[in-house]
Amino acid sequence: MKKKICVIGMGYIGLPTSAMFAKHGFQVLGVDVNEEVVNSLNEGRIIIEEPYLDALVYEEVVKNGSLKASTKAEKADVFIIAVPTPIKEDKTAMMDYVEAATRSIVPFLEPGNMVVLESTSPPGTVENLMMPILRECPFDVEESLYVAHSPERVIPGKILIELVENNRIIGGINRKSAEEVKKIYASFVKGEIFLTDATTAEMCKLMENTFRDVNIALANELAVICEQLGINAWEVIKYSNKHPRVTLHQPGPGVGGHCLAVDPWFIVEKFPETAKIIRLARETNDAMPHHVFGRARNILGSLAGKKIAILGATYKPDIDDLRESPVLELVDLLEEVRDLEVRIYDPFILSYKHLAPDLETALADADLLVLGVNHRVFENIPFGELKSRMRTPKILDTRNFLDGESLRAQGFEYHLLGEGRGFHGQR
Ligand code: SAJ
């Protein structure tokens, strides 16, 4: 008989993971509090955007009955928790969904079952939040239940590929738990599977994103220093990275997305006195939209009554995701200026405030164009032809994406984040 898996949370991680298990020989019940999600899933429809996922769900696993959905958990062999862990105003993790999900499965747990947390969580969540709840089971949980954290590490847009190909960490409350849970994931994971303890697995996931965030903060700090020094940070990065042991990251208008801008806080929350670099990195990156705002103000003298066109607003290139985008933070700052008009042009975004239907409209009578994100489709923009549309042909490039030399030759006043008024500045 097929092993049964009950997955709590049918979002960006829970649903693809469920479909993957259903495809690889398990009977899966996907549980979600949202009835609309459950009803559409039972009809083979999904309400999240992810390449190939609808085909897998509709054509394969729902059609053949191996994936079903419900608003209530049921008895199963394996329980996987993949609910959101959003960040609160005070920069601490909102763990209510993990807690509620854990409570919801307790009535169904039996000796020999597995419980796996996939949600990105502060260190100690399995041991200190989940285990006390699981111990309410009427049997010896440490002896008879296999409990582990196996963090999701897939990138949106490539989830079905990365679920299979990425390495996986499985951190158990004991060795046996990690080993048992590994057998389940080994059904479809082709990457290596590493076994450790639960808190180490939690820290691995958080540190991967923190590593990136701290390195980007270092690049952003370098950018501001180079502006003051009168040199070009991108050149410093290019030549420093020729060293065999140096990999400086790229500066930019800030760090967005729901991972890098969030996860480091889960460490700071637990160690507010010790996690100094991690906190400072977050604050440094969060300050970048303010820095870009300051550069725009310096370029234009005063912002009041001006028009600024923003080219690209998503949190990174070639995607339609606006979550935590630093460019939107910049837009919010600009909105506060009296009589300032902002127009955004981003072909990936269908609706958002200040959105212009095309670049021509965005640029009409603009005093400054700010390049917010480097979508590949922006590579061939004929700036020379568009120049006369602007009131003053000024550009601020926050990604070192545009050809500054050529733009200057065409009569633009080109400014680059991370470049000061030195030898290269010509300003
Ligand atoms: N960024 C810079 N400079 C850089 C690199 C990135 O400013 O040198 C900015 C980007 O513009 C963007 C932000 O950082 O605003 C985040 O982008 P990203 O590509 O670094 O990461 P995410 O948030 O899309 O996905 C990350 C990935 N983590 C790592 O690479 C360690 C992904 O593998 C994780 O699965 C994902 O977080 C997650 O779910 O945690």
Cβ–Cβ under 8 Å, residues 322 and 328: yes
The DSSP result for 326-347, as a single string, is HHHHHHHHHHTSTT-EEEEE-T
Say how many Å lie between the CA of residue 208 and the centre of ligand 1.
10
Per the CATH hierarchy, to which homologous superfamily does domain 231-416 belong? NAD(P)-binding Rossmann-like Domain (3.40.50.720)
- φ, ψ for residue 8, nearest 5 deg: -95, 120
**pTM strictly above 0.75:** yes
**Alpha-carbon distances, residue 105 vs 3, 66, 77, 108, 198 (angstroms):** 17, 20, 11, 5, 19
Does the CB atom of residue 66 touch ligand 1 within 6 A?
A: no
**Alpha-carbon distances, residue 210 vs 162, 205, 228, 282, 321 (angstroms):** 20, 9, 27, 9, 20
Cβ–Cβ under 8 Å, residues 35 and 182: no
Confidence at residue 9, expressed as pLDDT on a 0 to 100 scale:
98
| The token pair that represents 196 in the structure block | 């450790």
**Alpha-carbon distances, residue 197 vs 153, 201, 404, 415 (angstroms):** 17, 6, 51, 49
Give Cβ neighbours of residue 140 (< 8 Å, ≥ 6 apart): none
Say how many Å lie between the CA of residue 287 and the centre of ligand 1.
17
Mean pLDDT of the chain: 96
pLDDT by residue (tens digit) across 163-180? 999 999 999 999 999 999
Say how many Å lie between the CA of residue 316 and the centre of ligand 1.
8
231-416 matches 4-198 in CATH topology: yes
Catalytic (active site) residue 158: no
For a ligand 1 pocket test, name from 208, 258, 259, 417 the mutation site with the most ligand atoms within 8 angstroms of its C-beta.
259
Confidence at residue 202, expressed as pLDDT on a 0 to 100 scale:
98
Confidence at residue 424, expressed as pLDDT on a 0 to 100 scale:
47
Please identify every stretch of the chain with a pLDDT value under 70, giving residue numbers as ranges: 422-427
CB atoms within 10 A of CB 51: 12
Catalytic (active site) residue 137: no
Q: Which amino acid is at 199?
A: T
Q: Which residues of 129-156 are buried (b: 16+ CB within 10 A; e: fewer)?
A: bbbebbeebeeebeeebbbbbbbbbbeb
Taking the CA of residue 211 as reference, the ligand 1 atom at the shortest distance is 31
Confidence at residue 422, expressed as pLDDT on a 0 to 100 scale:
56
Of 274, 273, 284, 276, nearest to 249 by C-alpha is: 284
For a ligand 1 pocket test, name from 162, 212, 213 the mutation site with the most ligand atoms within 8 angstroms of its C-beta.
212
Cβ–Cβ under 8 Å, residues 22 and 10: no
Does the CB atom of residue 408 touch ligand 1 within 6 A?
A: no
Say how many Å lie between the CA of residue 115 and the centre of ligand 1.
29
Confidence at residue 425, expressed as pLDDT on a 0 to 100 scale:
44
Q: State the catalytic residue, choosing from 23, 205, 306, 394.
A: 205
User: What sign for the dihedral angle of Cα 402, 405, 410, 411?
Assistant: positive
In the chain, where are the structural domains located? 4-198, 231-416
Does the CB atom of residue 91 touch ligand 1 within 6 A?
A: no
pLDDT by residue (tens digit) across 194-235? 999 999 999 999 999 999 999 999 999 999 999 999 999 999
Cβ–Cβ under 8 Å, residues 316 and 256: yes
For a ligand 1 pocket test, name from 155, 158, 375 the mutation site with the most ligand atoms within 8 angstroms of its C-beta.
155
Say how many Å lie between the CA of residue 260 and the centre of ligand 1.
6
Q: Which class does domain 4-198 fall in? A: alpha beta
